[in-house]
Amino acid sequence: MNAQKRLKGRARDFFAKLQDEICAALESLDGAARFREDLWVRDGGGGGRTRVMEDGALFEKAGVNFSEVDGRFDEAFAEKMPVGEGSKFFATGISLVLHPSNPFVPTVHANFRYLERGSGSWFGGGTDLTPYYPNLDDAIHFHRTLKTACDEFDPAFYPRFKQWCDEYFFIKHRNEARGVGGVFFDYLTGEHADEPLEAGDNRTSVDRGIEFIFEFVQGVARAFLPAYAPIAERRRGEPFTERERAFQLIRRGRYVEFNLVYDRGTHFGLQTGGRTESILMSLPPLVRWVYDYHPEAGSREADALEFFRPRDWLNEELNEDE
């Protein structure tokens, strides 16, 4: 068995186990609903295990998807990829989106994946937080937890992947950030000369290798629950009004717009013949579009729209402490 084959199996095992761990923790966090599980087989090769929970005490809809698929990319689609060669591919990973019912609890997304195209192998993924109402403490907790996980591997990782996240989860046609961001990365092979290295680091990029990247992905993936769960715990009891619920439904529309217009994972899934219901489990349960909506100046809703801009959250913390 060659190294690529071994890594593929270990990545798949890690993601499958991670789905179990995360689902158990989310059921415990919700306290009422349970996940239903759907196993599915993909025509072109492979399949997955989709778990969805609806109408819980905390989560209006929570989807956690594990998949392992292989086959051939559409040629035009494959040509855009900077790693590997040809159209033969393998992909395994976990993807989750949690939509709480209370508008004071943020929506969150995470995705971690391993891909092969021909002889090329890479990891991608990340996690980002989409609050409806601004809470600086929440944004700081989320980012600090991710930064700590990243720093164990390379102090250059967090700033780079935080910025990548801000750029990726930007809704161009709205000129709006999706939320407060997090970290995002793609095509990490561990073998590229342009991979982030700490200033003065004398390891060569090749020395780091894909095993180092796999360790890093496991570290960030394990930081997801500690990054999100405490925020959900401390906000879930906050009472809310119809007005705040209405604002949540409008903001959820932006989530739909991002996922259907821009999201690479969604397009990847739909174009490679993935299971539509598993791919679109990311869409919110109930959404409202109001023509030309603008919150009243000075309202909490207007403040929210100002708050969700790409910002250096961990420096906001320092500014607050001064």
By CB under 8 A, tell whether 250 contacts a copy of itself. Answer: no
Would you call 294 a catalytic residue per the annotation?
Answer: no
Q: Closest CB to a copy of itself among 24 and 261?
A: 261
Evaluated on CA atoms 234, 100, 174, 129, the torsion sign reads positive
Q: Which of 1, 173, 237, 241 binds a copy of itself (CB under 8 A)?
A: 173
Nearer to a copy of itself, 9 or 285 (CB): 285
DSSP conformational letter for 39 = E
In three-state form (DSSP H/G/I as H, E/B as E, the rest C), the secondary structure along 43-106 is CCCEEEEEEEEECCCCEEEEEEEEEEEEEECCHHHHHCCCCCCCCEEEEEEEEEEEEECCCCCC
Q: Which is nearer to a copy of itself, 230 or 295 (CB)?
A: 295
Residue showing tokens 């796999």: 214
- The residue from 253, 295, 305, 310 that contacts a copy of itself (CB under 8 A) is 253
In angstroms and rounded to an integer, the radius of gyration of the C-alpha atoms of the chain is 20
**CB burial class (10 A; 0-12, 13-18, 19+) of residue 80?**
exposed
For a copy of itself, the closer CB: 8 or 99 = 99
- 133 CB-side CA count, 13 A: 18
- Exactly one of 3, 57, 206, 261 binds a copy of itself (CB under 8 A); that residue is 261
Name which of residues 21 to 60 contact a copy of itself (CB under 8 A).
Answer: 38, 52, 54
Site string for a copy of itself, 184-223 (x = CB under 8 A): ----------------------------------------
Burial of residue 267, with CB atoms counted within 10 A of its CB: 0-12 exposed, 13-18 middle, 19 or more buried: middle
Nearer to a copy of itself, 288 or 300 (CB): 288
Backbone angles phi, psi at 77, to 5 degrees: -65, -45
Least Å from the CB of residue 229 to a copy of itself? 22
User: Which range of residues in 21-29, 161-169, 234-242, 271-279 is near a copy of itself by CB under 8 A?
Assistant: 271-279
Q: Which among 112, 46, 122 is positioned nearest to 84, based on CA atoms?
A: 122
Instruction: Let me know: does 179 contact 255? Beta carbons within 8 Å.
Output: no
Q: Identify the active-site residue in 109, 143, 173, 192.
A: 109
Active-site annotation, residues: 109
Residues that bind a copy of itself (CB under 8 A): 38, 52, 54, 61, 63, 172-174, 249, 253, 256-257, 260-261, 270, 276-277, 279-281, 283-292
